[in-house]
Amino acid sequence: MRYAETGYNLEIDLSRGNIERIETDPGLAQRFLGGLGTNAKILWDRVPPEVEPYSTDNLLIFGAGLLTGTPAPGANRTIVSSFSPQTKLMAYSMMGGFFAPELKHAGYDKVIISGRSPELVYLWINNDKVELRDARHLRGKGTLETADLIRQELKEPNAQVAAIGLAGENRVYFASIEQGRSSASRLGIGGVMGDKRLKAIAVRGTKDVNIAHPAEFMEYCNEVLKYIKFREKNPLGMVPPILAGLGSPQEMRLHDEEWHTTNFAWGNARRRRKDFWTDEVEKNWTETSEGVRQRFLSCYNCPLSCGASVAYPGVPKYMMKCYSKLTYTMAAMSDLDFGFRINSRAQEYGVDGFTTPQTIAFALELYEAGILTDQEMSGMPSDSEERFFWLLERIVRREGIGDVLANGTYWAAQEIGRGAEEYAHNNIKKHEQLPLKLGMLNPIYFLMYSTGEKINITQIEGQFPQAPFAKREEREEFVKDWIQVPEEKFKQYFLEWEPRGDNSIPYYPSVEATCEIVDWMEKMHYLDDSTGMCAGLSSFPLKPAYHIHNLASIISAATGLDLDEAGLAQAAKRNRTLLRAINVRRGLRRADERPPEDHWKHRFPELETTLLDEYYKFKGWNDQGIPTRECLNDLGLDYVGEDLEQRGILSNEQSKKEG
């Protein structure tokens, strides 16, 4: 019997309409865990680097995490992996909600989609019965509406549906896949789904997911719940409210938005408004939020309820995710009320809540600068909020200038030319970043921004405080019950970190300590993305419920695998290195690993070079950020090394030298 995993994948070839249920190799979990790890293995094995993201040979994989479907609180992630139309690199985006547990209960760990359907279809997975169904009548329908219509026509109110909207159908480079209160938004995987002419996947499952060591496993689960309760009663002091609790940022619960509105830049990631937040704004925004919030919503088997349903008068109801209420608000230099209004539309169309507002703000800036002309923007209203709606419509339909903008700021700037490149200033590896523009280079963030394979800081950071606390006593207080650190020395790094003076950024933490801190944070994310654990309980917040010391036992109890802390760390490293190899094979090199030039006002080229050099070494990569033969062999990824050598990406000689 297989534990925690089902042992089966579904293979769907849309070109031929072929459906197969394939038993998977039981040895894979020990090496790659599941979710992201096994998704990456499939992409390495089956998608050669020449394959274009929008082509029949690209795969779109919906993978459930290894722990998803077990009672481990918060283990509910679906990891959607493919190649990004925007970056051309591997794309993976996670979604919470209810999809992956249902898939496990239907008897599958993954749905692997290949080919392209001749007509728009949807996939219906009902335990052993799996079929492709005509979806032509759903063309152009919104994401939530599609889910509703499918549930009605299947007469299956309990089916979980992941769907694309108009943006996905029109292959927008930042189209999302939406699923109830959650979505897989980043890097355009909704566009890949649209390219495959797959409107939705509906799933219903009523089978068991087995646990290897039930009593022990349940004890761990109860401990986690106990800790969550404790933290709900005892939020961390010393940090802004938004960072004090567990879960994804509690954007629908907290009204103190000083942190976001004053630290993040407005418009096209341009302007800090340090005095924006006033008592009056707080009062108004609190009223707005409370007025439209219908109910706090949780994902499957998680008590944190980070989302909420929103009933804004006059627009269809929807479910707010994370921080989208502010991304549109701030990009449009507008008001929270607008954020709530436009999100309803944006989610029905299925677009990424970070890239979309930024792309629109970018276009408006180009217009102000005279680079985009009245002719290109003909018909655009004069009011700023209405302009956002207008451009959103153009983008999701790929109409006029919308067709150019639908490829994101990097590609749009290339196409527009005339100096537009200067305005696409907030990208890493062609992908839009959070609108952050800060003063002094932070070495930890420099490395995370530069090297993160997710190309999205919120999915790399966590665990280690973003900034030093002002007073030593506060730091001492903080480290007292900091059991989540991998080793004691991390407490010391933090204790001695000062806001000013010798022990402050950019030269503190030391290069060595910085490498260790970044590696730790990243490792936790790789574990979450393989187990299907929500980052909100694990890799993202300070002092989370799951950490490097309890995860190995939890995974072992659920799966029966023989994994200790070291083994788990090794599996995380294997997955991380494999992802790097996939991207290296597609051309990723050191030159791509740069945060936006204006991310920090004060940059330190020498230090930055040293940081990258040392971090690459720390990771077992060469000076181009390519994993060495030795590193790959150590991880049992010899075949990866051989492939990289055959392609001349790793030279034999160099490998000999290092191996």
Partner 1 sequence: MSKVKKKVKTIKINVDKCNGCRACEVICASFHAAPKYSSNNPARARIRLIRDPIKDIFVPVYAGEYVAAECAGRDKYVIDGKEYSECDFCRASCPSRDVFREPDSGLPLKCDMCEDDPSLKEPMCVQWCLADALTYEEREEEVEEDAKLSDMELGLKALVDKYGWQKLADGVARLTEKG
Q: Answer yes or no whether residue 305 interacts with ligand SF4 by CB under 6 A.
A: yes
Give the residue carrying structure tokens 């007292």: 480
Strands 600-602 and 438-440: parallel
Q: Answer yes or no whether residue 305 interacts with partner 1 by CB under 8 A.
A: yes
Return the HEC string of 462-499: CCCCCCCCCCHHHHHHHHHCCCCCCCCHHHHHHHCCCC
Q: Answer yes or no whether residue 298 interacts with ligand SF4 by CB under 6 A.
A: yes
Quick one: what does residue 417 bind among partner 1, ligand SF4, none, with the CB cut-off 5 to 8 Å set by partner type? none
* Distance of alpha carbon 9 from alpha carbon 102, whole angstroms: 14
* Distance of alpha carbon 279 from alpha carbon 276, whole angstroms: 10
Residue 303 beta carbon to partner 1: minimum distance, rounded to whole angstroms: 4
Q: Answer yes or no whether residue 536 interacts with ligand SF4 by CB under 6 A.
A: yes
Nearest to 59 by CA among 200, 201, 196: 196
* Distance of alpha carbon 190 from alpha carbon 324, whole angstroms: 17
* Distance of alpha carbon 112 from alpha carbon 123, whole angstroms: 12
Among 70, 76, 78, 358, binds ligand SF4 (CB under 6 A): 76
Nearest to 193 by CA among 95, 309, 105: 95
Decide: 183 and 324 in contact? Cβ < 8 Å: no
Piece of the chain touching partner 1 by CB under 8 A; list 206-214, 278-286, 333-341, 489-497: 206-214
In terms of CB distance, is 14 or 95 closer to ligand SF4? 95
Per CB under 6 A, contacts with ligand SF4 among 78-117 are 96
Q: Answer yes or no whether residue 74 interacts with ligand SF4 by CB under 6 A.
A: yes
* Distance of alpha carbon 517 from alpha carbon 570, whole angstroms: 17
Q: Answer yes or no whether residue 228 interacts with ligand SF4 by CB under 6 A.
A: no
Site string for partner 1, 25-64 (x = CB under 8 A): ----------------------------------------
Piece of the chain touching ligand SF4 by CB under 6 A; list 229-237, 286-294, 295-303, 514-522: 295-303
Piece of the chain touching ligand SF4 by CB under 6 A; list 131-139, 219-227, 401-409, 531-539: 531-539
Tell me how many residues contact partner 1 (CB under 8 A). 44
DSSP state of 523: H
Q: Answer yes or no whether residue 401 interacts with ligand SF4 by CB under 6 A.
A: no
Among 295, 489, 589, 601, binds partner 1 (CB under 8 A): 295
Nearest to 144 by CA among 376, 304, 318, 267: 318
Among 53, 69, 85, 107, binds partner 1 (CB under 8 A): 69
Q: Answer yes or no whether residue 98 interacts with partner 1 by CB under 8 A.
A: yes
* CA dist list (Å): 494 to 155, 240, 335, 491: 56, 18, 37, 5
Side-by-side strand order, sheet with 90-95: 18-23, 8-13, 110-114, 60-64, 78-83, 90-95
Among 218, 236, 254, 315, binds partner 1 (CB under 8 A): 218
From the centroid of its chain, how far is CA 500?
33
Residue 180 beta carbon to partner 1: minimum distance, rounded to whole angstroms: 7
Quick one: what does residue 534 bind among ligand SF4, partner 1, none, with the CB cut-off 5 to 8 Å set by partner type? ligand SF4
User: Beta partners for 533?
Assistant: 75
In terms of CB distance, is 323 or 497 closer to ligand SF4? 323
* Distance of alpha carbon 531 from alpha carbon 224, whole angstroms: 16
Decide: 351 and 172 in contact? Cβ < 8 Å: yes
Residue 332 beta carbon to partner 1: minimum distance, rounded to whole angstroms: 26
Quick one: what does residue 206 bind among ligand SF4, partner 1, none, with the CB cut-off 5 to 8 Å set by partner type? partner 1
Give the residue carrying structure tokens 């019997």: 1
Q: Answer yes or no whether residue 422 interacts with partner 1 by CB under 8 A.
A: no
* Distance of alpha carbon 94 from alpha carbon 112, whole angstroms: 16
Quick one: what does residue 93 bind among ligand SF4, partner 1, none, with the CB cut-off 5 to 8 Å set by partner type? none
Q: Answer yes or no whether residue 309 interacts with ligand SF4 by CB under 6 A.
A: no
Among 12, 47, 167, 211, binds partner 1 (CB under 8 A): 211
In terms of CB distance, is 183 or 248 closer to ligand SF4? 248
Q: Answer yes or no whether residue 304 interacts with ligand SF4 by CB under 6 A.
A: yes
Piece of the chain touching partner 1 by CB under 8 A; list 69-77, 349-357, 473-481, 544-552: 69-77
Q: Answer yes or no whether residue 100 interacts with partner 1 by CB under 8 A.
A: no
Would you state the structure tokens that stand for residue 195, as one six-digit string? Answer: 């390219």
* Distance of alpha carbon 623 from alpha carbon 123, whole angstroms: 45
Q: Answer yes or no whether residue 126 interacts with partner 1 by CB under 8 A.
A: no
Q: Answer yes or no whether residue 534 interacts with ligand SF4 by CB under 6 A.
A: yes
Site string for ligand SF4, 247-276 (x = CB under 6 A): xx----------------------------
Decide: 451 and 460 in contact? Cβ < 8 Å: no
Tell me how many residues contact ligand SF4 (CB under 6 A). 14
In terms of CB distance, is 224 or 416 closer to partner 1? 224
Nearest to 178 by CA among 154, 150, 147: 147
Among 229, 471, 647, 657, binds partner 1 (CB under 8 A): 229
* Distance of alpha carbon 627 from alpha carbon 640, whole angstroms: 10
CA-CA-CA-CA dihedral for 506, 512, 515, 517, to nearest 10: -80
In terms of CB distance, is 225 or 479 closer to ligand SF4? 225
In terms of CB distance, is 204 or 475 closer to partner 1? 204
Residue 300 beta carbon to partner 1: minimum distance, rounded to whole angstroms: 6
Q: Answer yes or no whether residue 69 interacts with ligand SF4 by CB under 6 A.
A: no
Among 27, 215, 378, 648, binds partner 1 (CB under 8 A): 215
Q: At what angle do helices 638-646 and 565-585 cross, to 10 degrees?
A: 20
User: Beta partners for 184?
Assistant: 177
Sign of CA dihedral 95, 98, 102, 104: positive
Among 31, 41, 88, 105, binds partner 1 (CB under 8 A): 105
In terms of CB distance, is 226 or 418 closer to partner 1? 226
In terms of CB distance, is 300 or 615 closer to partner 1? 300
Decide: 460 and 521 in contact? Cβ < 8 Å: yes
Nearest to 539 by CA among 467, 457, 462, 458: 462
Residue 502 beta carbon to ligand SF4: minimum distance, rounded to whole angstroms: 38
Quick one: what does residue 207 bind among partner 1, ligand SF4, none, with the CB cut-off 5 to 8 Å set by partner type? partner 1
Q: Answer yes or no whether residue 120 interacts with partner 1 by CB under 8 A.
A: no
DSSP state of 175: B
What b/e sequence results for 185-196 when a residue is b if at least 16 CB atoms lie within 10 Å of its CB, and e otherwise? bbbbbbbbbbbb
* CA dist list (Å): 487 to 356, 484, 535: 40, 9, 21
Residues at the interface with partner 1 (CB under 8 A): 69-71, 73, 98, 101, 105, 144, 148, 157-158, 180-181, 205-211, 214-215, 217-218, 225, 228-229, 232, 294-303, 305, 309, 311, 317-319
Residues at the interface with ligand SF4 (CB under 6 A): 74, 76, 96, 247-248, 298-299, 302, 304-306, 534, 536-537
